[in-house]
Amino acid sequence: MGIGPIQLIRQATPAQRRTLLAAALGWALDAFDAMLYTLVLALLMRDLGMSKTTAGLLSTLTLLASGLGGVLFGFVADRVGRKRALMSSILTYSICSFASGLATSIAMLAAARFVLGLGMGGEWNTGAALVAETWPTELRAKAIAIVQSSWAVGFAAAALVAGPVARYFGWRAVFFIGILPAFLTLWMQRDVPESEMWQKRTKEKAPHLQKCGDVGENQAGSASEFSALFGPDFLRPTFALLFFNFFSLFAWWGLFTWIPPYLSLPTSQGGRGFGVVGTTTLLVILNLLGMLPGYASFGWIADLVGRRNAFLLYSLIAALLIPLYAEARRPEVLVIMGTLVAFFGTGLFSGSGIIGSELFPTSLRARALGFTYNGARAMSSVAPLVIGRIGQLKGLGAAFYLCAAGYLLAALLATRLPETRGTELT
């Protein structure tokens, strides 16, 4: 399967290492801030008087905003650079995480989570574009997989922090900690280089823009480039990737938004009765032994069997495992099945940045990634609401079967994707 992660880092240049670290830290801290809400959801439902349906609706608003943010920051990244857009997205979600802790009503919390979603959506595609354009073809898939795997680190860190902080200081203090990622931008401004591929493309376009001398014409050209996604060259792969991401993300957000309360709620309320400490322990195991290696392994598997076959493998296995997890009762079975579901059900998302970067040209890449991934995340924003509603009526275990169906449909969409292994970026 080629080189390992340590060898990969050693082969990279200092500039490549810094772009990888910036994107990985940004994505990890994105996960950290995004998952704080899920991890204190049971407390929020109690203190703010939220039902499962309302709690799911707030998650839906955040995901909807992430889709808008992905497209918005994609335009920003293609116009002013990957680095600036990445820094702006990190500042957005950090400040709004802090603002979530100041909320005194459901409406205030909803507003803060919506704006946080804008930044959360922008981080993924700008970071993926930055890494894809600075790493060579033979290392690209593995590098993006390492970036994606940092989500599990951020999720685990959030679980470790949220449990004790919420217990001793309350859920507001948990959100206040979410401001910490903002300090990452100070290092990025000083030490992280801009994508040379983006800079070269910008310089090539500059003479034309100076000649036309019209901001309106410049904006029209930008819109025209974006419309190429729906032209004959990109229409089929654009929508195949969009709907693959939609079904996968519907399954993921539906499942992982509700796993923490599912584990912590008492059995009389349809949960598994592990409490705060037990749930935190299970989530850390699930992230570090499931999500982290799942994300990281995808790049190696995709280089070995191809991008499309890797998508098929991970999504089909996830679809088969979720019903077994939903029926599990014993702690050791929940740990094993949950870890396997996390490995395959989250690992496949490494492929979205890989294949998306290889499908689209530099002038369009950040926007295309924003549309196909974060657009799908916006479409999947109904998942927490739908699973919460079904969970309220039938129990969360039964609702998780719908998540299994999502992964199965994603596998069907994967067969419509082109194979891009070995593609040189243009």
Give the whole-angstrom CA distance, residue 283 versus residue 148.
Answer: 18
Specify the pLDDT at position 128: 84
Burial (CB < 10 A; 0-12, 13-18, 19+), residue 53, is middle
CA angle 293, 295, 299 (to 5 degrees): 105
Q: What are the tokens at 183?
A: 């300090």
Tell me if 56 sits within 8 A of 257, measured CB to CB: yes
Tell me the helices (H) and strands (E) count for the chain, helix number first. 22, 0
SS3 content of the chain, % helix, strand, coil (to 5): 85, 0, 15
Q: Which residues, 6+ apart, have CB-to-CB distance to 164 below 8 Å?
A: none
pLDDT digits (tens, 9 = 90+) for 251-278: 998 998 888 777 876 666 556 667 666 7
Task: Please state the separation of Cα 242 from the chain's center in Å.
Answer: 14
Number of C-beta neighbours around residue 5 at 10 A = 15
- What is the topology classification, in CATH, of domain 5-414? Growth Hormone; Chain: A; (1.20.1250)
H helical segments located in 1-136? 5-11, 14-39, 41-47, 52-80, 82-100, 106-134
pTM of the complete model beyond 0.95: no
Residue owning tokens 């922008």:
122
Give the whole-angstrom CA distance, residue 76 versus residue 388.
Answer: 34
Specify the pLDDT at position 216: 41
pLDDT digits (tens, 9 = 90+) for 186-200: 898 888 888 888 888
Give the whole-angstrom CA distance, residue 75 versus residue 148.
Answer: 22
pLDDT by residue for the chain (426 residues), tens only, comes to 456 667 777 778 888 899 988 888 888 888 888 778 878 887 888 888 888 778 878 887 887 888 888 888 888 888 888 889 989 999 998 999 999 999 988 999 999 999 998 888 888 788 888 888 888 888 888 888 888 888 888 888 887 888 789 888 999 999 999 898 888 888 988 888 888 888 887 777 655 545 544 444 444 344 446 787 888 888 899 999 999 999 999 999 899 888 877 787 666 655 666 766 677 777 778 878 898 899 889 988 999 999 999 999 999 999 999 999 988 888 788 889 989 999 999 999 988 888 988 888 877 887 888 889 878 888 887 888 888 888 888 888 889 999 999 999 999 999 999 998 888 887
8-state DSSP, 316: H
Task: Please state the separation of Cα 380 from the chain's center in Å.
Answer: 12
